[in-house]
Structure 1
Amino acid sequence: MELVTHSEIDEVLANTLMALATPVLPQHFSTLVKRLAAFDNLIIIAYHGEHRPAVLYREYTDPVVYLPMDSQYLGGDYLLDPFYREHLRGDVHGIRRLRDVAPDHFRRTHYYKNYYQQTTLLDEVAVFANITESDTITACFGRDRTSGKPFNKRELEALQQYELTLSSLLKKHWQDYRIEGVGKAPPAPLEERLREALNQQHSIRLSPRQAEVALFILRGHSSLSISLHLEVSLQTVKVFRRQLYAKCCISSQAELFALLMPLFARLAEHQ
């Protein structure tokens, strides 16, 4: 990637500022980011609490990258996504790289193998901008099989240098955006909704802690990572896993994924 001068950045930034509150802002925003770090694909997503996300804009070089987006990601897979989990932390601004916020065993999960490998994504960086207490705009820039390589150190440093500017542009442009059809009442916590769905569909009654552990497993947390998050011993986590698998009559993460993902799709339908 060629070095970009400050005057070039300044010119593109000025054009982006002029495009605020107009339909062409996403294209100018894309051009600005490309001056800092060339990417293969871009998707801008609006998150509203624990409701189903909405896609606001997308562009790509290889169309395969977003083929599973509407059916799988928006169909329920987002519930396991690291960027979605980052949004739920609240008040998140600036740059996040997927590999830095993903759980330690994320690449071993069936979510990663069934969704991310289909997209051919090799690396992904997101700009976060909170527009309300529960609403977040996220612009995700990816490298896929088109370039065949991740972002390098210089590109990541350039994005970090402008992270407040990029975040502020998103926040200003979409400051009045609200997801249509979303009620004011937030849904029950995912663990609670999952327990109810499992009971209704399969007559499986999990405890709150067992449901919590199930979600940690599917998101890609190792037993050690789960123990650190729950502040319990590693042995206690292993007990929870055995109890969970026994109640569900399964013996592997693959079976847990196969059991729960159809339920996630139903839970997403009602958000």
Structure 2
Amino acid sequence: MATPTARPLAFVALIGPPGVGKSTASGRLAEAYGARLFRLREFAQLSCAAGWVTPESFLTNDLLGWFSDNTVEALIGEAFLRGRFPLSSLVVCENFPGTAEQVHILRRTAQWLGAPLSIVELNADDDVLRARVDNRWVCGTCEPDLDGQPHRPAQPSLEDTGRCQGCGQRLSRRQSDDPKAFARRLERYRNRLSGIRAAADSFGVSYQQIDTTNSDPADLSRLLRDLSPACLTGVKNDIDNVGAAPAPAR
């Protein structure tokens, strides 16, 4: 098992409804701080391929294919307590935790590692979410995926918006962005959000909300301005060196 001396200095968990810009915002934070970006789904694929977690652990009757809390706890243990996930001065957890119990799992793990945990909830109007989802594309070449379902937003080429700017291959839509799937995911998120907020409050986890309705989730200066100082506790990078982003008020 990893020892508490080999630890990140902070965990920041980004949650929010589908289409709010979690992948974009977490990627920008990772670039700014040299942080490690933790995506539960990607780590689950790695764990299954490496044999760290048995395939049977991922069996679920959930209509959206979401993992049970027990499976999530096993994955988090493999990632952070058994040292399967390389740690850095900041770990950004994208789209996690997804339930009240997962707040407890992540908080307990962060405490064991001696790292502060902050949860940041991104939100936006439903019409904005739908518009962002309708204009979102992925690239299966730049993001090879074991399940054939690439997730990270791809940048369309300026010359041909149907092709990837990075590799020139054809872009596709996320399967989870299908209108019916989007509606189910949004409903599921809304139903679980009050429990996540309550759990963070009861456990004393730093929690804040940032509205991205009228701003681009890729606007790092806005994101950093709105993040509370607690979210960046212990991060080594000097915030003044990150683009034109001003230091958060203390």
Higher helix share: 1
Higher relative contact order (CA 8 A, sep 6+): 2
TM-score over 0.5 for the alignment? no
Larger radius of gyration between Structure 1 and Structure 2: 1
TM-score, normalising length from structure 2? 0.27
TM-score, normalising length from structure 1? 0.26
